[in-house]
C-alpha cells in the first residue's frame, strides 16, 4: 500500500469517517490476511495430532515425520510472511491518516488554544498520535483475530464435545474477569492519575517561579506543599497497584488453571475407552486452548487502550466536523483590508463564567487613526485586544474589519495584515530572523529591515553573536524581557500590516525605547495603519489620536487625546490630534 496511490481527502462534514471509508480496501486486505494467519495457526495442532497418533502411536516411519516437519516449517514461514505484510499494512494506514489530517488538526488545535475553556480539547495532535499508535500496535491485530475465535472453538468441538465446552467456559470466565478488572481498578486509577497531575502541576509552578521562591525563602513551604500532594498521589497509586497486581495474578492463575482443566478433561476422556480421544488430540487441545485464550487475554490487558482510542476517535471526529462547519462560513480570499475597525454593542463573557468581562463596547476607527486604551488591572483591556484580532468571539455584538466580522475572515489570509503583540511575548525556537518574518519561507529582506528599524531593534540584533541568524529559545541565546518584547514588536510590524494591536508595548522599555516606540507609531499612522495600544504607563498617549478609559468592562469615557490627557494624567502633546472625528457608536444602536 503506497501513500501516493491513496486518494486525497478534503476536510468536509465528517473527514475522519471519509478517511476510514477510503481505507476500506486496506482493512479488507488486512481481514483476508488475518484469515490466513489464523487458518495457518491450525497447522500446529494438526502437526501435534499427527505426530503423536500417526508417527509415535501408529508405527509411522521417518519419511512421514520428515513430511510433517516440512509441512509445518512451510506453514510457519508463510504465516510469518503474511503477518509481516499485515503489520506493514497497518503501519502505512496509520501513517497515511496522520499525514492527511495532521496539518488540519494542528490548525484546529491552535484555534482552540486561543479560546478560553477549550484546554481539554486543544491537545488534538497528542490524541492523533495515540490513535495512530493504536492502529499500528498489537491491540488492533488482536481485534482482527477475535472474529476467528469461533473457528478454534469449532475445531475443539470437532475433537470432542466436552473439550469444546471446557474451552468455551474458560473464555467466558476470562471475559468476566476482564469486566471485573475494569470495574475494580478504573476508579482508583483515575483518582490516582488526577492526584499525580495535581502534584506535577505544583512542581511545575514551583520551578517556573524558582527565582521568586529562592529569593523570598519560600522553598521549604513549596516543598511541604508538593510533598503533601505527592503523598496523596502515592497513596492512591499504591491502592491501584495492589488492585491491578491482584487482578494480574488472578489472570495468570486462570491461564494455568485453564491449561490444567483442559488436560484433566482430556485425561478423563482418554481413560474412557468409549470416548475415542487420543493423546494427539490432547496435545492439539492444549495448543488450541492457548490460542483461544490469547485474544481474550489481550482484550483484558488492552481494554483501557481500546477505550481511550474510541474516545480519541470521537473527539477528533467531532472537532473536525465542527471545524468544517465553521470553515464553510469563512469568506473567500479577498483583497487586503484597509484597516477600518468597528465595534458594535460588544458583550463578552468567557465560557467558564456567566459574569461578563466586557459590556456595551462601541467605537470605530478609520485607517491611519490610533487609539490608546487605559484602565485599572482587570478592567478587560487585554480581553478587548483578543477580540479585536479575532482570538475570541463576542458573546453578543460585532467586531468588524472593513464592515465584515473579523472571525469570518480566513485566518491564514487576514493574519498577514494584522500585527499583534500580547502582554507576555514568546519567541519561537529558531533564529531572530525567523521570528520576525513569522516563520514564512517567502520573506522580504527590505520588509525585515523596515520592521526592525521601526521597532528600534536593528542595532540590538546586529550586536548579537550571529546577528539576525542568532538562535533564540530552547538551546539558544537567552534574551531579556525587554529584548524579547522588542523582537516581538518587530514581528508585529513586519509586512503589509493594516492593523497593529499592542498590549502594553512599553512595559519593559526605558525612556529611549519609549521614544522609539512613539516614533514608530507616528510612522505607522502616516502609512495609514490603524494602531490600538493597551497601556498602563501614559507616556505614549501623547502620540495617539484618541483615548479610551475602560473600567469594570465598560467604557467610562472616550474622546480625542487633548480632551482626555488631563483626565488620565498623561503628558500633553504639542500637536493636535488627527482632525478626523472619532465615530462613537450610540449605545442604542442595534447589534
Encode pLDDT of 509-533 as tens digits: 778 888 888 999 999 999 999 999 9
pLDDT band at 583 (very low <50, low <70, confident <90, very high): very low
pLDDT (mean) for 362-386: 91
Contact predicate 454/465, CB 8 Å? no
Find the range with the poorest average confidence among 1-5, 411-415, 566-570: 1-5
| pLDDT of residue 12 exceeding 80 | no
Contact predicate 538/569, CB 8 Å? yes
| pLDDT of residue 156 exceeding 90 | no
Which cell numbers hold the place of 144?
A: 482482527
Contact predicate 92/3, CB 8 Å? yes
Instruction: For residues 248 and 243, give the distance between their C-alpha atoms in angstroms, rounded to a whole number.
Output: 9
For the 341-568 domain, the top CATH level (class) is: alpha beta
Rounded mean pLDDT of the chain?
A: 80
Per-residue pLDDT reduced to its tens digit, 417-466: 899 998 888 888 888 999 999 888 888 889 999 999 998 899 999 998 88
Instruction: For residues 266 and 271, give the distance between their C-alpha atoms in angstroms, rounded to a whole number.
Output: 9
Cα of first residue to Cα of last residue in the chain, in angstroms, is 55
pLDDT (mean) for 406-416: 78
- pLDDT for position 420: 92
Find the range with the poorest average confidence among 122-126, 252-256, 464-468, 572-576: 572-576
Among residues of the chain, what percentage have pLDDT more than 70?
86
| pLDDT of residue 8 exceeding 70 | no
- pLDDT for position 451: 92
Per-residue pLDDT reduced to its tens digit, 38-68: 888 888 888 888 888 777 766 667 788 888 8
* 3 state SS of 136: coil
Sheet holding 404-405, edge to edge: 358-365, 341-348, 396-401, 404-405
- pLDDT for position 568: 67
- pLDDT for position 7: 40
Per-residue pLDDT reduced to its tens digit, 212-255: 778 788 888 888 888 988 898 889 888 888 888 888 788 778 87
Indicate the domain borders of the chain. Answer: 11-148+307-328, 161-276, 341-568
pLDDT band at 106 (very low <50, low <70, confident <90, very high): confident
Per-residue pLDDT reduced to its tens digit, 253-304: 887 888 888 888 888 888 887 777 777 888 888 888 877 777 777 776 677 7
pLDDT band at 112 (very low <50, low <70, confident <90, very high): low
- pLDDT for position 366: 94
Instruction: For residues 73 and 80, give the distance between their C-alpha atoms in angstroms, rounded to a whole number.
Output: 11
Burial of 538 (0-12, 13-18, 19+ CB in 10 A): middle
Amino acid at each position: 500500500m503506497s501513500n501516493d496511490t491513496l486518494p486525497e481527502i478534503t476536510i468536509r462534514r465528517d473527514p475522519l469517517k471519509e478517511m476510514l471509508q477510503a481505507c476500506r480496501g486496506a482493512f479488507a486486505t488486512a481481514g483476508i490476511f488475518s484469515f490466513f494467519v489464523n487458518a495457518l495457526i491450525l497447522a500446529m495442532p494438526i502437526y501435534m495430532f499427527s505426530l503423536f497418533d500417526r508417527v509415535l502411536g501408529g508405527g509411522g516411519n521417518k519419511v512421514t515425520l520428515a513430511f510433517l516437519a516440512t509441512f509445518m516449517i512451510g506453514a510457519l514461514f508463510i504465516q510469518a510472511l503474511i503477518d509481516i505484510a499485515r503489520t506493514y499494512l497497518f503501519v502505512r494506514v496509520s501513517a497515511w491518516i496522520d499525514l492527511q489530517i495532521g496539518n488540519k488538526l494542528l490548525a484546529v488545535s491552535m484555534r482552540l488554544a486561543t479560546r478560553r475553556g477549550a484546554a481539554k480539547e486543544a491537545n488534538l495532535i497528542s490524541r492523533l498520535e495515540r490513535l495512530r499508535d493504536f492502529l499500528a500496535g498489537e491491540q488492533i491485530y488482536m481485534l482482527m483475530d477475535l472474529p476467528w475465535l469461533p473457528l478454534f472453538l469449532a475445531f475443539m468441538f470437532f475433537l470432542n464435545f466436552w473439550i469444546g465446552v471446557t474451552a468455551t467456559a474458560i473464555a467466558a470466565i476470562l471475559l468476566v474477569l476482564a469486566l471485573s478488572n475494569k470495574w475494580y481498578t478504573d476508579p482508583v486509577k483515575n483518582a490516582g492519575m488526577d492526584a499525580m497531575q495535581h502534584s506535577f502541576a505544583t512542581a511545575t509552578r514551583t520551578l517556573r517561579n524558582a527565582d521568586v521562591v529562592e529569593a523570598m525563602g519560600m522553598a521549604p513551604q513549596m516543598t511541604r506543599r508538593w510533598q503533601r500532594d505527592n503523598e496523596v498521589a502515592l497513596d492512591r497509586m499504591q491502592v491501584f497497584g495492589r488492585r491491578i497486581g491482584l487482578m494480574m495474578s488472578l489472570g495468570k492463575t486462570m491461564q494455568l488453571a485453564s491449561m490444567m482443566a483442559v488436560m484433566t478433561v482430556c485425561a478423563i476422556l482418554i481413560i474412557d475407552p468409549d470416548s475415542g480421544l487420543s493423546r494427539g488430540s490432547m496435545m492439539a487441545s492444549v495448543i488450541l486452548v492457548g490460542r483461544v485464550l490469547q485474544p481474550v487475554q489481550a482484550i483484558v490487558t488492552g481494554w483501557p487502550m481500546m477505550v481511550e482510542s474510541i474516545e480519541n476517535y470521537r473527539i477528533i471526529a467531532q472537532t473536525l466536523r465542527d471545524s468544517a462547519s465553521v470553515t464553510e462560513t469563512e469568506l473567500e480570499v479577498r483583497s487586503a483590508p484597509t484597516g477600518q475597525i468597528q465595534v458594535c454593542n460588544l458583550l463578552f463573557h468567557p465560557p467558564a463564567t456567566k459574569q461578563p468581562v466586557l459590556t456595551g463596547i462601541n467605537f470605530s476607527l478609520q485607517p491611519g487613526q490610533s487609539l490608546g486604551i487605559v484602565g485599572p488591572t482587570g478592567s478587560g483591556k487585554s480581553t478587548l485586544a483578543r477580540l479585536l484580532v479575532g482570538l475570541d468571539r463576542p458573546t453578543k455584538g460585532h467586531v468588524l474589519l472593513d464592515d465584515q466580522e473579523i472571525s469570518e475572515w480566513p485566518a491564514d489570509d487576514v493574519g498577514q495584515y494584522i500585527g499583534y503583540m500580547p502582554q507576555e511575548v514568546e519567541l519561537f525556537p529558531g533564529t531572530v530572523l525567523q521570528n520576525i518574518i513569522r516563520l514564512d519561507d517567502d520573506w522580504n529582506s527590505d520588509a525585515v529591515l523596515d520592521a526592525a528599524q521601526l521597532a528600534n531593534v536593528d542595532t540590538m540584533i546586529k550586536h548579537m553573536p550571529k546577528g539576525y541568524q542568532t538562535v533564540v529559545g530552547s538551546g539558544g541565546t537567552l534574551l531579556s524581557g525587554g529584548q524579547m518584547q522588542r523582537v516581538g514588536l518587530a514581528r508585529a510590524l513586519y509586512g503589509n500590516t493594516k492593523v497593529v494591536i499592542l498590549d502594553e508595548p512599553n512595559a519593559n522599555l526605558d525612556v529611549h525605547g519609549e521614544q522609539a516606540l512613539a516614533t514608530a507609531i507616528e510612522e505607522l499612522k502616516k502609512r495609514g495603519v490603524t494602531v490600538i495600544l493597551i497601556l498602563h504607563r501614559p507616556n505614549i498617549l501623547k502620540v495617539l489620536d484618541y483615548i479610551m478609559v475602560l473600567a469594570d468592562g465598560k467604557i467610562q469615557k472616550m474622546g480625542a487625546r487633548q480632551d482626555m490627557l488631563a483626565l488620565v494624567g498623561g503628558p500633553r502633546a504639542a500637536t493636535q490630534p488627527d482632525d478626523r472625528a472619532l465615530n462613537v457608536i450610540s449605545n442604542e444602536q442595534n447589534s
